[in-house]
Structure 1
Protein backbone atom coordinates (compact mmCIF):
# COMPACT_ATOMS: atom_id res chain seq x y z
CA UNK A 1 0.00 0.00 0.00
CA UNK A 2 2.84 2.35 0.87
CA UNK A 3 4.56 1.71 -2.47
CA UNK A 4 1.29 2.29 -4.32
CA UNK A 5 0.78 5.55 -2.45
CA UNK A 6 4.32 6.70 -3.29
CA UNK A 7 3.83 5.70 -6.94
CA UNK A 8 0.54 7.65 -7.06
CA UNK A 9 2.17 10.72 -5.52
CA UNK A 10 5.03 10.48 -8.04
CA UNK A 11 2.59 10.26 -10.93
CA UNK A 12 0.70 13.32 -9.67
CA UNK A 13 3.96 15.30 -9.50
CA UNK A 14 4.90 14.18 -13.01
CA UNK A 15 1.49 15.22 -14.36
CA UNK A 16 1.76 18.59 -12.57
CA UNK A 17 5.21 19.20 -14.08
CA UNK A 18 3.91 18.33 -17.56
CA UNK A 19 0.88 20.59 -17.12
CA UNK A 20 2.99 23.51 -15.94
CA UNK A 21 5.45 22.93 -18.78
CA UNK A 22 2.66 22.98 -21.38
CA UNK A 23 1.15 26.13 -19.83
CA UNK A 24 4.56 27.85 -19.89
CA UNK A 25 5.05 26.91 -23.56
CA UNK A 26 1.55 28.14 -24.41
CA UNK A 27 2.17 31.42 -22.58
CA UNK A 28 5.47 31.93 -24.38
CA UNK A 29 3.83 31.23 -27.75
CA UNK A 30 1.48 34.15 -26.99
CA UNK A 31 3.86 36.57 -25.24
CA UNK A 32 6.90 36.30 -27.52
CA UNK A 33 5.06 37.31 -30.75
CA UNK A 34 3.43 40.19 -28.85
CA UNK A 35 6.85 41.34 -27.61
CA UNK A 36 8.14 41.20 -31.17
CA UNK A 37 5.23 43.35 -32.36
CA UNK A 38 5.96 45.88 -29.59
CA UNK A 39 9.66 45.98 -30.49
CA UNK A 40 8.94 46.61 -34.18
CA UNK A 41 6.27 49.22 -33.35
CA UNK A 42 8.71 51.26 -31.24
CA UNK A 43 11.69 50.82 -33.57
CA UNK A 44 12.69 52.99 -36.52
CA UNK A 45 11.11 51.38 -39.55
CA UNK A 46 14.10 51.69 -41.86
CA UNK A 47 16.32 50.11 -39.20
CA UNK A 48 13.85 47.31 -38.52
CA UNK A 49 13.85 46.48 -42.25
CA UNK A 50 17.48 45.36 -41.86
CA UNK A 51 16.33 42.55 -39.53
CA UNK A 52 17.58 41.47 -36.16
CA UNK A 53 14.73 43.03 -34.13
CA UNK A 54 13.17 40.45 -31.83
CA UNK A 55 12.02 41.47 -28.36
CA UNK A 56 13.56 44.92 -27.82
CA UNK A 57 13.79 47.96 -30.14
CA UNK A 58 17.27 48.74 -31.45
CA UNK A 59 16.53 52.38 -32.35
CA UNK A 60 13.64 53.59 -30.20
CA UNK A 61 11.14 55.97 -31.79
CA UNK A 62 7.51 57.09 -31.53
CA UNK A 63 7.38 58.13 -35.18
CA UNK A 64 5.29 55.10 -36.16
CA UNK A 65 2.55 56.09 -33.72
CA UNK A 66 2.79 59.77 -34.73
CA UNK A 67 2.25 58.74 -38.34
CA UNK A 68 -0.87 56.82 -37.37
CA UNK A 69 -2.35 59.64 -35.27
CA UNK A 70 -1.49 62.24 -37.93
CA UNK A 71 -4.34 60.88 -40.03
CA UNK A 72 -7.08 63.51 -40.16
CA UNK A 73 -9.96 61.09 -39.62
CA UNK A 74 -8.37 58.91 -36.95
CA UNK A 75 -10.21 60.58 -34.05
CA UNK A 76 -13.55 60.44 -35.85
CA UNK A 77 -12.98 56.76 -36.63
CA UNK A 78 -12.17 56.15 -32.97
CA UNK A 79 -15.49 57.70 -31.90
CA UNK A 80 -17.41 55.66 -34.49
CA UNK A 81 -15.76 52.48 -33.22
CA UNK A 82 -16.64 53.32 -29.61
CA UNK A 83 -20.25 54.07 -30.54
CA UNK A 84 -20.78 50.88 -32.55
CA UNK A 85 -19.00 48.75 -29.95
CA UNK A 86 -20.92 50.07 -26.94
CA UNK A 87 -24.37 50.37 -28.55
CA UNK A 88 -24.03 47.27 -30.71
CA UNK A 89 -22.78 45.09 -27.86
CA UNK A 90 -25.47 46.27 -25.43
CA UNK A 91 -28.37 45.76 -27.85
CA UNK A 92 -27.05 42.46 -29.17
CA UNK A 93 -26.53 40.96 -25.70
CA UNK A 94 -29.98 42.05 -24.48
CA UNK A 95 -31.92 40.90 -27.55
CA UNK A 96 -29.95 37.68 -28.02
CA UNK A 97 -30.36 36.73 -24.36
CA UNK A 98 -34.11 37.38 -24.46
CA UNK A 99 -34.44 35.18 -27.55
CA UNK A 100 -32.32 32.47 -25.89
CA UNK A 101 -34.49 32.60 -22.75
CA UNK A 102 -37.63 32.19 -24.84
CA UNK A 103 -36.17 29.22 -26.75
CA UNK A 104 -35.17 27.40 -23.59
CA UNK A 105 -38.77 27.38 -22.36
CA UNK A 106 -40.45 24.00 -22.79
CA UNK A 107 -43.87 25.67 -22.78
CA UNK A 108 -43.08 27.66 -25.95
CA UNK A 109 -45.15 26.13 -28.79
CA UNK A 110 -42.85 24.58 -31.40
CA UNK A 111 -39.66 25.50 -29.53
CA UNK A 112 -37.78 22.52 -31.02
CA UNK A 113 -38.79 23.45 -34.57
CA UNK A 114 -37.89 27.11 -33.98
CA UNK A 115 -34.49 26.12 -32.60
CA UNK A 116 -33.81 23.97 -35.68
CA UNK A 117 -34.85 26.75 -38.08
CA UNK A 118 -32.63 29.25 -36.28
CA UNK A 119 -29.72 26.80 -36.26
CA UNK A 120 -30.26 26.10 -39.98
CA UNK A 121 -29.31 29.71 -40.80
CA UNK A 122 -25.76 28.94 -39.59
CA UNK A 123 -25.25 26.33 -42.29
CA UNK A 124 -25.77 28.50 -45.40
CA UNK A 125 -25.09 32.07 -46.45
CA UNK A 126 -26.82 34.08 -49.15
CA UNK A 127 -23.53 35.58 -50.36
CA UNK A 128 -22.13 39.09 -50.36
CA UNK A 129 -24.13 40.44 -53.32
CA UNK A 130 -27.59 39.39 -52.03
CA UNK A 131 -26.57 40.64 -48.60
CA UNK A 132 -25.60 44.01 -50.07
CA UNK A 133 -28.92 44.22 -51.95
CA UNK A 134 -30.83 43.55 -48.72
CA UNK A 135 -28.85 46.24 -46.88
CA UNK A 136 -29.46 48.70 -49.72
CA UNK A 137 -33.21 48.02 -49.80
CA UNK A 138 -33.34 48.57 -46.05
CA UNK A 139 -31.47 51.90 -46.46
CA UNK A 140 -28.67 50.67 -44.23
CA UNK A 141 -25.77 51.19 -46.64
CA UNK A 142 -23.72 54.32 -45.97
CA UNK A 143 -25.36 54.56 -42.54
CA UNK A 144 -23.95 54.10 -39.05
CA UNK A 145 -26.71 51.57 -38.34
CA UNK A 146 -25.22 49.13 -40.85
CA UNK A 147 -22.73 48.28 -38.09
CA UNK A 148 -25.39 47.57 -35.47
CA UNK A 149 -28.71 46.28 -36.88
CA UNK A 150 -27.38 43.32 -38.99
CA UNK A 151 -25.28 42.18 -36.00
CA UNK A 152 -28.05 42.33 -33.40
CA UNK A 153 -28.55 38.57 -33.38
CA UNK A 154 -25.92 35.86 -33.45
CA UNK A 155 -27.19 32.29 -33.69
CA UNK A 156 -24.04 30.88 -32.13
CA UNK A 157 -24.24 33.26 -29.15
CA UNK A 158 -27.96 32.54 -28.82
CA UNK A 159 -27.37 28.78 -28.59
CA UNK A 160 -24.60 29.28 -26.01
CA UNK A 161 -26.89 31.42 -23.84
CA UNK A 162 -29.78 28.98 -24.30
CA UNK A 163 -27.64 26.10 -23.06
CA UNK A 164 -26.54 28.14 -20.06
CA UNK A 165 -30.10 29.19 -19.20
CA UNK A 166 -31.22 25.55 -19.34
CA UNK A 167 -28.92 24.85 -16.38
CA UNK A 168 -30.81 27.33 -14.22
CA UNK A 169 -32.77 25.44 -11.53
CA UNK A 170 -36.47 25.48 -12.40
CA UNK A 171 -37.23 26.06 -8.73
CA UNK A 172 -36.00 29.63 -9.04
CA UNK A 173 -38.50 30.41 -11.78
CA UNK A 174 -41.32 28.53 -10.09
CA UNK A 175 -40.79 30.41 -6.84
CA UNK A 176 -40.83 33.71 -8.73
CA UNK A 177 -44.06 32.80 -10.56
CA UNK A 178 -45.72 31.88 -7.27
CA UNK A 179 -44.83 35.38 -6.04
CA UNK A 180 -46.61 36.80 -9.11
CA UNK A 181 -43.55 37.64 -11.21
CA UNK A 182 -44.03 37.90 -14.99
CA UNK A 183 -41.73 36.39 -17.62
CA UNK A 184 -39.93 39.72 -18.06
CA UNK A 185 -39.60 40.01 -14.30
CA UNK A 186 -38.17 36.52 -14.04
CA UNK A 187 -35.71 37.22 -16.83
CA UNK A 188 -34.39 40.53 -15.45
CA UNK A 189 -34.62 39.69 -11.73
CA UNK A 190 -33.65 36.02 -11.70
CA UNK A 191 -31.96 34.93 -14.95
CA UNK A 192 -29.76 37.98 -15.56
CA UNK A 193 -28.25 38.19 -12.03
CA UNK A 194 -27.34 34.48 -11.91
CA UNK A 195 -26.03 34.42 -15.50
CA UNK A 196 -23.28 37.04 -15.25
CA UNK A 197 -20.57 34.69 -16.59
CA UNK A 198 -22.34 33.98 -19.88
CA UNK A 199 -23.39 37.64 -20.26
CA UNK A 200 -19.79 38.77 -19.73
CA UNK A 201 -18.48 36.20 -22.20
CA UNK A 202 -20.98 37.02 -24.94
CA UNK A 203 -20.48 40.76 -24.35
CA UNK A 204 -16.73 40.33 -24.83
CA UNK A 205 -17.25 38.29 -28.00
CA UNK A 206 -19.52 41.00 -29.41
CA UNK A 207 -17.23 43.84 -28.38
CA UNK A 208 -14.17 42.25 -29.99
CA UNK A 209 -16.11 41.55 -33.19
CA UNK A 210 -17.41 45.12 -33.41
CA UNK A 211 -14.04 46.67 -32.59
CA UNK A 212 -12.01 44.60 -35.07
CA UNK A 213 -14.49 44.63 -37.96
CA UNK A 214 -13.09 46.64 -40.87
CA UNK A 215 -14.94 44.78 -43.65
CA UNK A 216 -18.33 46.44 -43.11
CA UNK A 217 -16.93 49.96 -43.21
CA UNK A 218 -14.85 49.21 -46.28
CA UNK A 219 -17.59 47.64 -48.42
CA UNK A 220 -20.91 49.07 -47.22
CA UNK A 221 -19.99 52.66 -46.24
CA UNK A 222 -18.79 55.37 -48.63
CA UNK A 223 -18.83 58.36 -46.29
CA UNK A 224 -15.35 58.69 -44.74
CA UNK A 225 -16.89 60.30 -41.64
CA UNK A 226 -18.79 57.07 -40.88
CA UNK A 227 -15.85 54.68 -41.14
CA UNK A 228 -14.65 53.05 -37.90
CA UNK A 229 -11.10 53.02 -36.63
CA UNK A 230 -10.25 49.57 -37.99
CA UNK A 231 -11.35 50.56 -41.51
CA UNK A 232 -9.47 53.87 -41.36
CA UNK A 233 -6.28 52.11 -40.27
CA UNK A 234 -6.71 49.40 -42.90
CA UNK A 235 -7.03 52.00 -45.67
CA UNK A 236 -4.03 53.88 -44.28
CA UNK A 237 -1.94 50.71 -44.35
CA UNK A 238 -2.98 50.02 -47.93
CA UNK A 239 -1.92 53.50 -49.05
CA UNK A 240 1.35 53.30 -47.12
CA UNK A 241 2.18 49.91 -48.59
CA UNK A 242 1.43 51.15 -52.12
CA UNK A 243 3.74 54.14 -51.55
CA UNK A 244 6.48 51.89 -50.18
CA UNK A 245 6.21 49.53 -53.17
CA UNK A 246 6.46 52.48 -55.55
CA UNK A 247 9.56 53.86 -53.83
CA UNK A 248 11.23 50.44 -53.76
CA UNK A 249 11.06 50.43 -57.58
CA UNK A 250 12.68 53.85 -57.74
CA UNK A 251 15.64 54.34 -60.05
CA UNK A 252 16.44 58.08 -60.22
CA UNK A 253 18.70 59.71 -57.56
CA UNK A 254 15.96 61.96 -56.13
CA UNK A 255 13.72 59.02 -55.31
CA UNK A 256 16.62 57.01 -53.88
CA UNK A 257 17.48 59.93 -51.62
CA UNK A 258 13.86 60.04 -50.43
CA UNK A 259 14.02 56.35 -49.51
CA UNK A 260 17.04 56.97 -47.28
CA UNK A 261 15.12 59.64 -45.33
CA UNK A 262 12.07 57.46 -44.69
CA UNK A 263 11.91 56.20 -41.10
CA UNK A 264 8.40 54.75 -41.21
CA UNK A 265 7.86 51.64 -43.31
CA UNK A 266 4.76 49.64 -44.07
CA UNK A 267 5.81 46.94 -41.59
CA UNK A 268 6.54 49.32 -38.72
CA UNK A 269 3.28 51.17 -39.37
CA UNK A 270 1.41 47.86 -39.35
CA UNK A 271 2.88 46.92 -35.97
CA UNK A 272 1.95 50.30 -34.48
CA UNK A 273 -1.57 49.88 -35.84
CA UNK A 274 -1.86 46.44 -34.21
CA UNK A 275 -0.87 47.91 -30.83
CA UNK A 276 -3.40 50.74 -31.15
CA UNK A 277 -6.24 48.40 -32.12
CA UNK A 278 -5.69 45.74 -29.46
CA UNK A 279 -4.98 48.06 -26.51
CA UNK A 280 -8.65 48.92 -25.70
CA UNK A 281 -9.63 45.23 -25.75
CA UNK A 282 -6.67 44.34 -23.51
CA UNK A 283 -7.85 46.99 -21.05
CA UNK A 284 -11.43 45.69 -20.98
CA UNK A 285 -10.65 41.97 -20.78
CA UNK A 286 -9.36 41.91 -17.15
CA UNK A 287 -12.62 43.52 -16.00
CA UNK A 288 -14.66 40.64 -17.44
CA UNK A 289 -12.27 37.75 -16.88
CA UNK A 290 -13.44 37.01 -13.33
CA UNK A 291 -16.93 36.14 -14.60
CA UNK A 292 -15.80 33.46 -17.07
CA UNK A 293 -15.34 30.63 -14.59
CA UNK A 294 -17.38 31.98 -11.72
CA UNK A 295 -19.77 29.38 -10.28
CA UNK A 296 -22.65 31.67 -9.43
CA UNK A 297 -25.19 28.82 -9.39
CA UNK A 298 -23.55 26.96 -6.53
CA UNK A 299 -25.73 27.18 -3.46
CA UNK A 300 -28.30 29.43 -5.12
CA UNK A 301 -31.14 27.02 -4.30
CA UNK A 302 -31.67 23.80 -2.44
CA UNK A 303 -33.78 21.24 -4.21
Structure 2
Protein backbone atom coordinates (compact mmCIF):
# COMPACT_ATOMS: atom_id res chain seq x y z
CA UNK A 1 0.00 0.00 0.00
CA UNK A 2 1.55 3.27 -1.12
CA UNK A 3 1.85 5.90 1.56
CA UNK A 4 1.00 9.43 0.62
CA UNK A 5 3.68 11.96 1.41
CA UNK A 6 2.65 14.56 3.91
CA UNK A 7 3.80 18.07 3.07
CA UNK A 8 4.57 20.19 6.11
CA UNK A 9 4.17 23.94 6.32
CA UNK A 10 7.97 24.24 6.08
CA UNK A 11 8.04 22.26 2.81
CA UNK A 12 5.40 24.54 1.28
CA UNK A 13 7.12 27.72 2.45
CA UNK A 14 10.51 26.43 1.33
CA UNK A 15 9.15 25.55 -2.13
CA UNK A 16 7.57 28.96 -2.54
CA UNK A 17 10.75 30.70 -1.38
CA UNK A 18 12.99 28.73 -3.76
CA UNK A 19 10.54 29.33 -6.61
CA UNK A 20 10.68 33.07 -5.97
CA UNK A 21 14.48 33.01 -5.83
CA UNK A 22 14.61 31.05 -9.09
CA UNK A 23 12.16 33.42 -10.75
CA UNK A 24 14.17 36.46 -9.61
CA UNK A 25 17.23 34.97 -11.36
CA UNK A 26 15.41 34.03 -14.57
CA UNK A 27 13.30 37.18 -14.95
CA UNK A 28 16.15 39.53 -16.04
CA UNK A 29 16.78 37.21 -19.01
CA UNK A 30 13.06 37.20 -19.85
CA UNK A 31 12.94 41.00 -19.69
CA UNK A 32 16.04 41.44 -21.87
CA UNK A 33 14.71 38.95 -24.44
CA UNK A 34 11.29 40.65 -24.56
CA UNK A 35 12.91 44.08 -24.89
CA UNK A 36 15.19 42.91 -27.70
CA UNK A 37 12.20 41.51 -29.64
CA UNK A 38 10.15 44.70 -29.26
CA UNK A 39 10.18 47.79 -31.46
CA UNK A 40 12.82 50.16 -30.11
CA UNK A 41 10.70 53.31 -30.22
CA UNK A 42 7.78 51.54 -28.57
CA UNK A 43 10.09 50.15 -25.86
CA UNK A 44 10.95 53.69 -24.79
CA UNK A 45 7.39 53.97 -23.46
CA UNK A 46 8.17 51.25 -20.91
CA UNK A 47 5.71 48.70 -19.47
CA UNK A 48 7.41 45.71 -21.13
CA UNK A 49 7.64 42.91 -18.61
CA UNK A 50 7.25 39.42 -20.09
CA UNK A 51 6.25 39.62 -23.77
CA UNK A 52 7.10 42.12 -26.53
CA UNK A 53 4.30 44.59 -27.21
CA UNK A 54 5.26 45.21 -30.86
CA UNK A 55 7.18 42.15 -32.01
CA UNK A 56 10.04 42.78 -34.43
CA UNK A 57 13.36 41.27 -35.47
CA UNK A 58 14.71 44.62 -36.63
CA UNK A 59 17.02 44.93 -33.64
CA UNK A 60 18.73 41.62 -34.48
CA UNK A 61 18.77 42.47 -38.19
CA UNK A 62 20.65 45.69 -37.51
CA UNK A 63 23.05 43.93 -35.16
CA UNK A 64 23.93 41.28 -37.74
CA UNK A 65 24.22 43.89 -40.50
CA UNK A 66 26.84 45.81 -38.51
CA UNK A 67 30.32 44.78 -39.67
CA UNK A 68 31.85 46.22 -36.48
CA UNK A 69 29.82 43.81 -34.35
CA UNK A 70 30.82 40.82 -36.51
CA UNK A 71 34.50 41.80 -36.15
CA UNK A 72 34.13 42.14 -32.38
CA UNK A 73 32.38 38.78 -32.19
CA UNK A 74 35.21 37.17 -34.18
CA UNK A 75 37.84 38.61 -31.82
CA UNK A 76 35.91 37.31 -28.80
CA UNK A 77 35.57 33.80 -30.28
CA UNK A 78 39.24 33.61 -31.24
CA UNK A 79 40.50 34.84 -27.87
CA UNK A 80 38.19 32.46 -26.03
CA UNK A 81 39.24 29.39 -28.03
CA UNK A 82 42.96 30.17 -28.13
CA UNK A 83 43.11 31.50 -24.57
CA UNK A 84 41.19 28.56 -23.11
CA UNK A 85 43.29 25.96 -24.94
CA UNK A 86 46.64 27.48 -23.96
CA UNK A 87 45.54 28.17 -20.39
CA UNK A 88 44.33 24.62 -19.78
CA UNK A 89 47.40 23.12 -21.49
CA UNK A 90 49.97 25.13 -19.53
CA UNK A 91 48.16 24.87 -16.20
CA UNK A 92 47.81 21.11 -16.64
CA UNK A 93 51.51 20.73 -17.45
CA UNK A 94 52.45 22.79 -14.40
CA UNK A 95 50.01 20.91 -12.17
CA UNK A 96 51.28 17.54 -13.42
CA UNK A 97 54.86 18.51 -12.57
CA UNK A 98 53.90 19.84 -9.12
CA UNK A 99 51.92 16.69 -8.35
CA UNK A 100 55.18 14.71 -8.37
CA UNK A 101 56.76 14.50 -4.93
CA UNK A 102 60.10 13.67 -6.56
CA UNK A 103 60.26 17.03 -8.40
CA UNK A 104 63.37 18.98 -7.27
CA UNK A 105 62.40 22.36 -5.83
CA UNK A 106 58.72 21.46 -5.73
CA UNK A 107 58.03 23.67 -2.68
CA UNK A 108 59.94 26.61 -4.17
CA UNK A 109 58.06 26.47 -7.47
CA UNK A 110 54.72 26.25 -5.65
CA UNK A 111 55.55 29.30 -3.56
CA UNK A 112 56.90 31.12 -6.62
CA UNK A 113 53.63 30.87 -8.54
CA UNK A 114 51.61 31.54 -5.37
CA UNK A 115 53.41 34.80 -4.52
CA UNK A 116 51.84 36.93 -7.31
CA UNK A 117 48.38 36.06 -6.00
CA UNK A 118 49.21 37.91 -2.77
CA UNK A 119 51.04 40.97 -4.07
CA UNK A 120 50.18 43.09 -7.09
CA UNK A 121 52.13 46.08 -8.43
CA UNK A 122 48.98 47.83 -9.62
CA UNK A 123 47.47 48.96 -12.87
CA UNK A 124 50.17 51.40 -14.05
CA UNK A 125 53.17 49.02 -13.63
CA UNK A 126 51.14 46.30 -15.31
CA UNK A 127 50.32 48.61 -18.22
CA UNK A 128 53.99 49.58 -18.57
CA UNK A 129 54.95 45.89 -18.58
CA UNK A 130 52.48 45.19 -21.37
CA UNK A 131 53.82 48.19 -23.26
CA UNK A 132 57.42 46.97 -22.94
CA UNK A 133 56.33 43.57 -24.23
CA UNK A 134 54.63 45.22 -27.24
CA UNK A 135 51.27 43.80 -26.20
CA UNK A 136 49.35 47.09 -26.30
CA UNK A 137 47.06 47.12 -29.36
CA UNK A 138 47.98 43.48 -29.90
CA UNK A 139 45.63 40.51 -29.99
CA UNK A 140 47.86 38.59 -27.58
CA UNK A 141 47.15 41.08 -24.80
CA UNK A 142 43.95 39.09 -24.31
CA UNK A 143 45.72 35.72 -24.08
CA UNK A 144 49.16 36.01 -22.48
CA UNK A 145 48.20 37.76 -19.19
CA UNK A 146 45.60 35.04 -18.54
CA UNK A 147 47.77 32.00 -19.27
CA UNK A 148 48.29 31.03 -15.62
CA UNK A 149 46.03 30.98 -12.61
CA UNK A 150 47.29 29.61 -9.30
CA UNK A 151 43.92 28.33 -8.09
CA UNK A 152 43.36 26.46 -11.35
CA UNK A 153 46.78 24.84 -11.00
CA UNK A 154 45.96 23.80 -7.41
CA UNK A 155 42.62 22.29 -8.45
CA UNK A 156 44.21 20.29 -11.27
CA UNK A 157 47.14 19.21 -9.10
CA UNK A 158 44.79 18.00 -6.36
CA UNK A 159 42.85 16.00 -8.93
CA UNK A 160 46.01 14.45 -10.40
CA UNK A 161 47.23 13.44 -6.97
CA UNK A 162 44.12 11.30 -6.67
CA UNK A 163 45.07 9.19 -9.71
CA UNK A 164 46.65 5.88 -8.52
CA UNK A 165 50.41 5.83 -8.96
CA UNK A 166 50.18 2.18 -10.01
CA UNK A 167 48.84 3.30 -13.40
CA UNK A 168 51.99 5.26 -14.16
CA UNK A 169 54.23 2.51 -12.82
CA UNK A 170 52.52 -0.02 -15.08
CA UNK A 171 52.91 2.30 -18.04
CA UNK A 172 56.63 2.72 -17.34
CA UNK A 173 57.02 -1.05 -17.25
CA UNK A 174 55.38 -1.15 -20.69
CA UNK A 175 57.99 1.30 -21.97
CA UNK A 176 56.05 4.58 -21.82
CA UNK A 177 58.00 7.78 -21.20
CA UNK A 178 56.69 10.72 -19.17
CA UNK A 179 55.18 12.47 -22.20
CA UNK A 180 53.34 9.34 -23.32
CA UNK A 181 52.05 8.78 -19.79
CA UNK A 182 50.78 12.36 -19.68
CA UNK A 183 49.04 12.27 -23.07
CA UNK A 184 47.72 8.69 -23.06
CA UNK A 185 46.85 8.15 -19.40
CA UNK A 186 46.70 11.38 -17.41
CA UNK A 187 44.77 13.55 -19.89
CA UNK A 188 42.03 10.98 -20.65
CA UNK A 189 41.44 10.49 -16.92
CA UNK A 190 41.36 14.24 -16.25
CA UNK A 191 38.29 15.03 -18.34
CA UNK A 192 36.09 16.34 -15.46
CA UNK A 193 38.65 18.73 -14.00
CA UNK A 194 39.79 19.93 -17.44
CA UNK A 195 36.18 20.65 -18.40
CA UNK A 196 35.76 22.58 -15.16
CA UNK A 197 38.85 24.72 -15.71
CA UNK A 198 37.89 25.22 -19.37
CA UNK A 199 34.52 26.55 -18.28
CA UNK A 200 36.11 28.85 -15.69
CA UNK A 201 38.64 30.43 -18.04
CA UNK A 202 36.36 30.30 -21.10
CA UNK A 203 33.67 32.36 -19.35
CA UNK A 204 36.37 34.74 -18.06
CA UNK A 205 37.63 35.32 -21.61
CA UNK A 206 34.13 35.64 -23.04
CA UNK A 207 32.96 38.16 -20.44
CA UNK A 208 36.14 40.26 -20.25
CA UNK A 209 35.66 43.86 -21.39
CA UNK A 210 38.39 45.51 -19.33
CA UNK A 211 41.36 44.54 -21.52
CA UNK A 212 39.68 45.78 -24.68
CA UNK A 213 38.73 49.07 -23.04
CA UNK A 214 42.13 49.97 -21.57
CA UNK A 215 44.79 48.06 -23.51
CA UNK A 216 43.42 48.28 -27.05
CA UNK A 217 42.59 51.40 -29.07
CA UNK A 218 42.42 49.66 -32.45
CA UNK A 219 38.72 49.26 -33.20
CA UNK A 220 39.38 46.10 -35.22
CA UNK A 221 40.69 44.36 -32.07
CA UNK A 222 37.88 45.28 -29.69
CA UNK A 223 35.96 42.25 -28.31
CA UNK A 224 32.20 42.12 -28.23
CA UNK A 225 31.95 42.73 -24.47
CA UNK A 226 33.90 45.97 -24.78
CA UNK A 227 31.64 46.98 -27.65
CA UNK A 228 28.62 46.17 -25.51
CA UNK A 229 30.02 48.32 -22.70
CA UNK A 230 30.48 51.20 -25.15
CA UNK A 231 26.91 50.77 -26.40
CA UNK A 232 25.70 50.84 -22.79
CA UNK A 233 27.50 54.14 -22.23
CA UNK A 234 26.03 55.59 -25.43
CA UNK A 235 22.53 54.40 -24.51
CA UNK A 236 22.78 55.98 -21.05
CA UNK A 237 24.06 59.25 -22.55
CA UNK A 238 21.21 59.28 -25.08
CA UNK A 239 18.63 58.58 -22.37
CA UNK A 240 20.00 61.40 -20.20
CA UNK A 241 19.97 63.82 -23.13
CA UNK A 242 16.37 62.97 -23.98
CA UNK A 243 15.29 63.40 -20.36
CA UNK A 244 16.96 66.81 -20.15
CA UNK A 245 15.37 67.85 -23.44
CA UNK A 246 11.96 66.74 -22.23
CA UNK A 247 12.32 68.59 -18.92
CA UNK A 248 13.37 71.76 -20.73
CA UNK A 249 10.48 71.49 -23.18
CA UNK A 250 12.77 71.08 -26.15
CA UNK A 251 12.78 68.58 -28.97
CA UNK A 252 13.92 65.06 -28.27
CA UNK A 253 16.75 63.45 -30.13
CA UNK A 254 15.70 61.53 -33.23
CA UNK A 255 16.27 57.80 -33.19
CA UNK A 256 16.60 55.40 -36.05
CA UNK A 257 13.74 55.52 -38.52
CA UNK A 258 13.76 51.75 -38.65
CA UNK A 259 12.45 51.59 -35.08
CA UNK A 260 15.67 50.50 -33.38
CA UNK A 261 17.29 52.52 -30.61
CA UNK A 262 20.70 52.21 -28.95
CA UNK A 263 18.97 50.60 -25.97
CA UNK A 264 17.12 48.00 -28.05
CA UNK A 265 20.28 47.23 -30.04
CA UNK A 266 22.15 46.79 -26.79
CA UNK A 267 19.54 44.32 -25.55
CA UNK A 268 19.77 42.34 -28.81
CA UNK A 269 23.55 42.28 -28.62
CA UNK A 270 23.34 41.20 -24.99
CA UNK A 271 21.15 38.22 -25.93
CA UNK A 272 23.55 37.25 -28.73
CA UNK A 273 26.49 37.55 -26.33
CA UNK A 274 24.98 35.40 -23.58
CA UNK A 275 23.42 32.79 -25.89
CA UNK A 276 26.63 30.77 -26.63
CA UNK A 277 27.40 30.34 -22.91
CA UNK A 278 23.83 29.20 -22.22
CA UNK A 279 24.17 26.62 -24.99
CA UNK A 280 27.55 25.27 -23.86
CA UNK A 281 26.99 25.14 -20.10
CA UNK A 282 24.37 22.31 -20.03
CA UNK A 283 26.81 19.98 -21.84
CA UNK A 284 29.60 20.73 -19.37
CA UNK A 285 27.49 20.84 -16.22
CA UNK A 286 28.02 17.21 -15.17
CA UNK A 287 31.77 17.52 -15.71
CA UNK A 288 31.75 20.86 -13.95
CA UNK A 289 30.11 19.55 -10.76
CA UNK A 290 32.25 16.41 -10.69
CA UNK A 291 35.47 18.31 -11.35
CA UNK A 292 34.84 20.89 -8.65
CA UNK A 293 34.02 18.25 -6.05
CA UNK A 294 37.00 16.03 -6.81
CA UNK A 295 39.44 18.90 -7.22
CA UNK A 296 38.42 20.50 -3.92
CA UNK A 297 37.82 17.53 -1.62
CA UNK A 298 40.57 15.06 -2.45
CA UNK A 299 43.98 15.73 -1.04
Q: TM-score by structure 1 length?
A: 0.83
1:146 aligned partner: 141
Return closer, same or farther for 1:246/1:26 CA change in 2, 3 Å cut-off.
closer
1:247·1:259 contact (CA, 8 Å) conserved in 2? no
**Distance in structure 2 (CA, Å) of the matches to 1:19 and 1:169:** 43
Return closer, same or farther for 1:199/1:164 CA change in 2, 3 Å cut-off.
same
SS in 2 for 1:255: coil
In structure 2, stretches of 5+ residues that fail to align are 292-299
**Distance in structure 1 (CA, Å) of the matches to 2:178 and 2:84:** 23
1:280 aligned partner: 276
1:57 aligned partner: 52
1:300 aligned partner: none
**Distance in structure 1 (CA, Å) of the matches to 2:281 and 2:181:** 29
Return closer, same or farther for 1:25/1:245 CA change in 2, 3 Å cut-off.
closer
1:299 aligned partner: none
Q: Pick from 133, 137, 141: which aligns with 2:132?
A: 137
SS in 1 for 2:237: helix
2:267 aligned partner: 271
Return closer, same or farther for 1:14/1:248 CA change in 2, 3 Å cut-off.
closer
**Distance in structure 2 (CA, Å) of the matches to 1:100 and 1:19:** 42
Q: Pick from 177, 198, 202: which aligns with 2:172?
A: 177
Return closer, same or farther for 1:293/1:219 CA change in 2, 3 Å cut-off.
closer
**Distance in structure 1 (CA, Å) of the matches to 2:233 and 2:55:** 25
Q: Within 5 Å, give how 1:31-110 maps onto structure 2.
A: 31-110=26-105
SS in 2 for 1:73: helix
Higher mean C-alpha deviation, range 267-276 or range 130-139: 267-276
Q: Pick from 185, 194, 198: which aligns with 2:189?
A: 194
RMSD (Å) for aligned C-alpha atoms: 3.1
1:244·1:266 contact (CA, 8 Å) conserved in 2? no
Q: Encode CA deviations 1:153-172: one digit per residue, 9 max, x unaligned.
A: 11121111111111111111
Q: Between Structure 1 and Structure 2, how many residues are aligned?
A: 289
Q: Within 5 Å, give how 1:96-245 maps onto structure 2.
A: 96-245=91-240
1:135·1:141 contact (CA, 8 Å) conserved in 2? yes
2:231·2:266 contact (CA, 8 Å) conserved in 1? no
Pairwise CA distance, 1:193: 0.4
Pairwise CA distance, 1:19: 7.9
In structure 1, stretches of 5+ residues that fail to align are 1-5, 296-303
Q: Encode CA deviations 1:19-61: one digit per residue, 9 max, x unaligned.
A: 8667645543332222122112212334334333222112222
Q: TM-score by structure 2 length?
A: 0.84
1:100·1:162 contact (CA, 8 Å) conserved in 2? yes
**Distance in structure 2 (CA, Å) of the matches to 1:250 and 1:120:** 54
**Distance in structure 1 (CA, Å) of the matches to 2:256 and 2:191:** 55
